[in-house]
Structure 1
Amino acid sequence: MTQRSESTTAGTVPPGGASSPLVPSPPPLAEPRRHGEPRVWPRSFHDRLTSPLPGLKTLARFAREGSVRPGKEGLADIARLPYAPAPLPHADARTIAVSWAGHASWVIRIGGLTVLTDPVWSRRILGTPARITPVGIAWEALPRVDAVVVSHNHYDHLDAPTLRRLPRDTPVFVPAGLGRWFLRRRFTRVTELDWWEAAELSGVRFDFVPSHHWSKRTLTDTCHSLWGGWVLTAPDGRSVYFAGDTGYGHWFSRIGRRHPGIDLALLPIGAYDPRWWLRDVHCDPEEAVRAHLDLGARRMAPMHWGTFVLSAEPVLEPLTRVRAAWRKAGLDRDDLWDLPVGGARVLERDAVTRPVSP
């Protein structure tokens, strides 16, 4: 499938004369767009797919072979899934804190703001058994939510019952084409962005970046809205990358080039088996570590596992495999923030991290 080309800038010649090698410059970031700006989008974003959606042959194979649930042995470790709710850490404008509510739902404290990612506080989502771990953060324990970012419209990332709990004037940042879903629900501060576009809120920058995924919420809206991840950048320049839902591919290195020195990457590691069925849209743990390296991020926090049973791998396998891949890559163990559901971590301004005790 075709991709929209990414703009680049020429390298600069460093001191030392024309014989010195060119030092490439990262592509420039877009100027922030106005909040709630009316936009006109194409009816379909099929041209943004990095792999074809399943065809008849694939669906027939799935009907013959496919299982998207673990067997009895794969479910046996549900009671051992890490679950340790911690209080939300104190965070001011000089600190970055992340708390994992489960799946792709994070509470990010950055630049003095409280931002929710793909908030799903429901016990059950359409077409999926109930959560196998409770929500790690009580809704009542949340401070005022200053903003919400949404990666795409699949039910495990866009949950209407949870969003109904929010005041309708909460700023919401969403992919291109998804704004009307929120406007129909009377949200009044909805900003839609295309890939590589950005907006700002109280000095915090919200950049929408590509992912290897797709969108669909009904029988007739396949790829009618875009999908992607978010880079949140504090006024002091530190940043958190929220990948949303994605397979492995070329976008990670391009995101890292545009956003060098990402301080923390929140990357999905689950819902990957059977591989022939899910490879194009979900990273496995080893691919998540490769994505972390491609990004050039300083730290990684795994997500998208241990909350809903969406695929056939054993429920604890994503955690054991990501730890093994991290060791094999020779990375510092302290930089893998493998939090329990409900866990939290703080990145101080001097880049020293500390865990938050339950």
Structure 2
Amino acid sequence: MTEQHEDTGSPRPTAPPSPAAKPRGRPRSFADRLTEPLPGTGAVLRAGLTGRFRPRGEDVRAQVPRLPVEPGPLPEAGPRTVAVTWAGHASWVVSIAGLTVLTDPVWSRRILGTPERVTPVGVAWEALPPVDAVVISHNHYDHLDAATLARLPRDTPLFVPAGLARWCARRRFTRVTELDWWEGAEIPAPGGGNVRLDFVPAHHWSRRGLLDTCRSLWGGWMLTAPDGRRIHFAGDTGYGHWFAEIGRRYPGIDLALLPIGAYAPRALLRPVHTDPPEAVRACRDLGAARMAPMHWATFLLSSEPPLEPLIRVREEWAADGRPAEDLWTLPVGGSRALP
């Protein structure tokens, strides 16, 4: 059902995920996977007390009304379609080979420990087709939203990082596949063949309560259609060596969904959140043909002005010599399909 993926060729065939896939032996902690030590409590508290985790009020008032929001109809989900729709933050509706896959679905207006979202969800829940799979990058509240998942049928296939299967089982989900880095699974596509879901590394961390730091893993996902077209969903991540390694193991990535926001102050957030220059560099390391920015314009989690990530990523993309048409700066609710 799951396997290690070590080569750089086509994914090996595996069986579709079975109901309630049980995790194999997992470590109690994944702290050894951290790229860098996490900031100390004192540094975080000092940043919070000085207001360094929020943009200036005048920037919010001036720029939030200008954030791009253009909800539109979802692309038709045909057997040869590979398309993405940005619902906001790290939530995407991915149409791939006739299947609908949600990434880190957060349809809530407010979540624990996070300011209220400043833009609406780009896709109405009622407009979603039946969901064939959900992939989760890690357990932070702005990526793993219990209220949103509760709206799904309990037999919806969930693909989660190592250490999260028990959390899903407590919420009565019956088809949970828990994966470590470089492990993958496949689900059958309506038009034949399988869509492959591989869990890949990221530079981040996990915590949901006071006593569970790094008790579950974090990462991104590689979605591969039966015809070989690939989408990399980075989840939440800082910049580092894993992008080049992912690109080596999974050549020919057609689209990288990469975070560009929540990066200031850099002294605290650099290890776990890419800024726009780092996101563009990560796209090049991956060898991805296109990039679609995410993780901005939804929740104001840090101190950069709300529109700054968009301005900077366009500047960095141009400075890197990449064609403008290969940077998909979608509005919230916007869609685009791969050729």
Normalised by the length of structure 1, the TM-score is 0.88
1:52 equivalent in structure 2 = 37
1:337 equivalent in structure 2 = 328
2:119 equivalent in structure 1 = 133
Structure 1 distance, partners of 2:85, 2:37, is 35
Secondary structure of the equivalent of 1:77?
Answer: helix
1:265 equivalent in structure 2 = 256
What's the CA shift for 1:346? Answer: 1.2
Residue type of the alignment partner of 2:25: V
Among 159, 163, 177, the residue aligned to 1:191: 177
- Contact residue 73 and residue 314 of structure 1 kept, 8 A: no
2:191 equivalent in structure 1 = none
C-alpha RMSD of the superposition: 1.8
1:166 equivalent in structure 2 = 152
Q: Which moved more, 1:235-244 or 1:47-56?
A: 47-56
* Ranges of 4+ aligned residues in structure 1 off by more than 6 Å: 6-9
2:263 maps to 1:277: no
What's the CA shift for 1:255? Answer: 0.4
Spell out the pairing of 1:22-37 with structure 2 (5 A cutoff). Answer: 26=8, 32=14, 34-35=17-18, 36-37=21-22
CA 1:27 to 1:333, structure 2 compared with 1: closer, same or farther past 3 Å?
Answer: same
2:138 maps to 1:152: yes
Structure 2 distance, partners of 1:62, 1:130, is 20
CA distances 1:300-354 after superposition (whole Å, capped 9, x unpaired) = 000000000100000000000000000100100000000000000011xxx2xxx
1:23 equivalent in structure 2 = none
Aligned length: 327
- Contact residue 5 and residue 184 of structure 2 kept, 8 A: no
Residue type of the alignment partner of 1:39: R
Structure 1 distance, partners of 2:5, 2:149, is 35
1:82 equivalent in structure 2 = 68
What's the CA shift for 1:55? Answer: 2.2
Residue type of the alignment partner of 2:159: F
- Contact residue 85 and residue 136 of structure 1 kept, 8 A: yes
Among 201, 219, 225, the residue aligned to 1:228: 219
Spell out the pairing of 1:1-358 with structure 2 (5 A cutoff). Answer: 26=8, 32=14, 34-35=17-18, 36-56=21-41, 58-59=43-44, 61-62=46-47, 65=50, 67-75=52-60, 76-202=62-188, 203-347=194-338, 351=339
Residue type of the alignment partner of 2:199: F
Secondary structure of the equivalent of 1:108?
Answer: strand
Look at both structures and tell me which one has the larger radius of gyration over its CA atoms.
Answer: 1
What's the CA shift for 1:27? Answer: 7.7
CA distances 1:43-73 after superposition (whole Å, capped 9, x unpaired) = 1000100100112563465366551000123
CA 1:212 to 1:27, structure 2 compared with 1: closer, same or farther past 3 Å?
Answer: farther
Secondary structure of the equivalent of 1:100?
Answer: strand
- Contact residue 66 and residue 274 of structure 1 kept, 8 A: no
- Contact residue 30 and residue 197 of structure 1 kept, 8 A: no
CA distances 1:201-260 after superposition (whole Å, capped 9, x unpaired) = 010000000000000000011000000000000000001100000000000000000110
CA 1:187 to 1:8, structure 2 compared with 1: closer, same or farther past 3 Å?
Answer: closer
Structure 2 distance, partners of 1:335, 1:235, is 23
Q: Which moved more, 1:192-201 or 1:67-76?
A: 67-76
Normalised by the length of structure 2, the TM-score is 0.93
* Runs (5+) with no aligned partner, structure 2: 189-193
Structure 1 distance, partners of 2:247, 2:58, is 39
Secondary structure of the equivalent of 1:241?
Answer: strand
Residue type of the alignment partner of 2:114: T
Residue type of the alignment partner of 2:181: W
What is the identity percentage for the equivalent residue pairs of Structure 1 and Structure 2? Answer: 68
1:17 equivalent in structure 2 = none
Structure 2 distance, partners of 1:52, 1:79, is 37
Residue type of the alignment partner of 2:304: E
Structure 2 distance, partners of 1:188, 1:122, is 23
Structure 1 distance, partners of 2:298, 2:199, is 25
